[in-house]
Amino acid sequence: MRLVVCVDRDDDLGRKAQVAGPVVGRSSAIDAATRLATVDPEDSDTNAIFAAVSLLDELKGAGEECEVCVLTGSPKVGAISDRRVADQFDQVLKDVKATSAYLVSDGAEDEFLFPILASRVRIDGVRRVLVRQSPSIESTYYTLVRALKDPKLRAKTILPFALVLLILGLAAAGHVLDWGIIGLSIVLGVYLIFWTFDIDEMLIDSVRSASSDIRTGSVAFGFGLFAVALVGVGFLNGYNLYSANLGSPPLDRILSFLDGGLLFWVLGALVWETGRAVRRMFVRGRFPRSWVVATTSVVGIGFLSYGIVYLVRYLEGLLSSAGVPLLVGFIVAGLGLVIGAGVLQQYFKAVARRNVPDPTSG
C-alpha cells in the first residue's frame, strides 16, 4: 500500500474551511479542497490537494494499491505545527497500513516535514506543485494588500502596534503616563514571550490533547492531571512561605515563594513530559528519544533556577558565604545539563538525517 500525502503545514483547511485533519480518502480530499477553494480561491493548498488526488488516480491507473491523505498543522508554523502533523500521520498509518508514501508539496516550507514522514515510512518521491499567476498579480501593491489580509501576519505586526496605542491612550487620558509605560512594558513583554515560545498554541494544544485523552481513556490524562496538581501545590507551598515571612524585605519574600515552589514545578514538568512520552509510545510502539532531551533540559533549568535564587540571596546579603558552594554547584550542574540536552538533541537529529533516504532518489 502506497500513501499519497499532502501537508497543509499552516492549517489553512482548519482556519478557513473548518476542515479538521487528517483528511483520508479521495472523496474527502476533494470535498476539503472544494471547501477551501470556495472560501479562498487563491490558496495554493487547494492546488496541492487536487494534485495529490491526481497523483492518486495516476497510481491507481497503473494498478497500484494506494490512498490519499491531507495532514494539517497549526497557524503558528514551527514545532507545534510539526508535532500535529506527526501525530496525524501516526493516526493515518494506524488505520492505513502503508509501506511507502509520496509527498505532494506546494512549496519548500512543507518539505521541511520530509524527515518526519520519512522516519515512519519509506518516501518514494516528492512532487512539487507550482501555481501559474499573471504578471499583474505580482505587483507590490497587490502583494502588500493580500499580506495584510492574512490573519497570521496581522497578529504579528498590527497587534503590538495596537497595544501600544491603546495603553498609551488610556494612560494619557488618566494623566498617569508613567504607569501607562510600565503597563505597556509588562503587556508587550508577556505578549512577546507568548509569541516567541508559542505558549498560547501550547495551551490550546494541551486542552485538545486532554480532551482527546479523556475520550479515549488515555493514560496520559492521569499524568497531566497529576502534573497540574504538582504545579498547584508548588504555588500553594510558595505562598505559605511568602505569608510566613511578611516581616522580611519584599525581595526575600519573593525568593521564599520561588524557593518553595520550584521543586514542585520541576516535578510537574517531568511528570507532564513523561505522560506525553507514554502516549507517543503507545501510538508509535517505541519510547521517544525526545523524552531524554526534555527531561534533561527540565532538570537543568530547575538547577539553574535554584542557583539564581541562591545567587540573588547571596548578593543581597541574605545568604552566608557557607552557601556559596551550593549555589555554584546548582549553576554549574544546571548549565551542564542544559548544554547536554542541546548536544543530545543535535545528536538525535544527526542520527535521524543519516537514516533518511535522499528525496531525489525516488
Average pLDDT, the chain: 78
**Residue of 11, 58, 52 lying closest to 28 (CA atoms):** 52
What residue has cell string 496538581?
Answer: 229
Q: What percent of the chain has pLDDT over 90?
A: 11
Mean pLDDT, to the nearest integer, of 47-71?
90
Confidence class for position 217, pLDDT limits 50, 70, 90:
low
- What is residue 316's three-state secondary structure? coil
Q: Note the pLDDT of residue 190.
A: 64
Q: Note the pLDDT of residue 211.
A: 63
Q: Note the pLDDT of residue 313.
A: 83
Q: Note the pLDDT of residue 68.
A: 92
Residue 306, all three cell numbers? 535554584
Mean pLDDT, to the nearest integer, of 245-259?
82
Residue 126: strand pairing partners:
103
Confidence class for position 259, pLDDT limits 50, 70, 90:
confident
What residue has cell string 517531568?
Answer: 270
pLDDT tens-digit readout, 13-41: 888 888 887 899 999 999 999 999 998 88
Q: Note the pLDDT of residue 360.
A: 44
CB 298 within 8 A of CB 266: yes
pLDDT tens-digit readout, 266-305: 999 899 888 888 877 877 777 788 888 888 988 998 898 8
pLDDT tens-digit readout, 101-150: 888 887 656 667 778 888 888 888 888 876 655 444 444 544 555 555 55
Q: Note the pLDDT of residue 70.
A: 92
Q: Note the pLDDT of residue 69.
A: 92
DSSP 154-181: HHHHHHHHHHHHHHHHHHHHTT-HHHHH
Q: Note the pLDDT of residue 34.
A: 92
- What is residue 198's three-state secondary structure? coil
Whether the CA torsion 180, 183, 187, 189 is positive or negative: it is: positive
Q: Note the pLDDT of residue 76.
A: 74
Q: Note the pLDDT of residue 135.
A: 47
pLDDT tens-digit readout, 153-199: 556 666 666 666 666 666 665 565 666 666 666 666 666 656 655 55
Q: Which helix (H) or strand (E) holds 39?
A: helix 26-39
Long-range contacts of 264-268 (CB under 8 A, 24+ apart): 264/230, 264/231, 264/233, 264/234, 264/237, 265/230, 265/231, 265/234, 265/302, 266/298, 266/299, 266/301, 266/302, 267/230, 268/227, 268/228, 268/229, 268/230, 268/231, 268/234
Q: Note the pLDDT of residue 144.
A: 58
Q: Note the pLDDT of residue 200.
A: 61
For the CA atoms of 302, 307, 310, 312, the dihedral, rounded to the nearest 10 degrees, stands at: -110
Report cis status (omega within 30 of 0) of the bond before 359.
Answer: no
Residue 206, all three cell numbers? 494541551
Residue 156, all three cell numbers? 504579528
The residues, any chain, with a CB within 8 Å of residue 153's CB and separated by 6 or more, are 147
pLDDT tens-digit readout, 304-337: 888 888 888 888 777 777 878 888 898 899 899 9
Confidence class for position 96, pLDDT limits 50, 70, 90:
confident
Q: Note the pLDDT of residue 147.
A: 55
Q: Note the pLDDT of residue 138.
A: 43
Mean pLDDT, to the nearest integer, of 70-86?
82
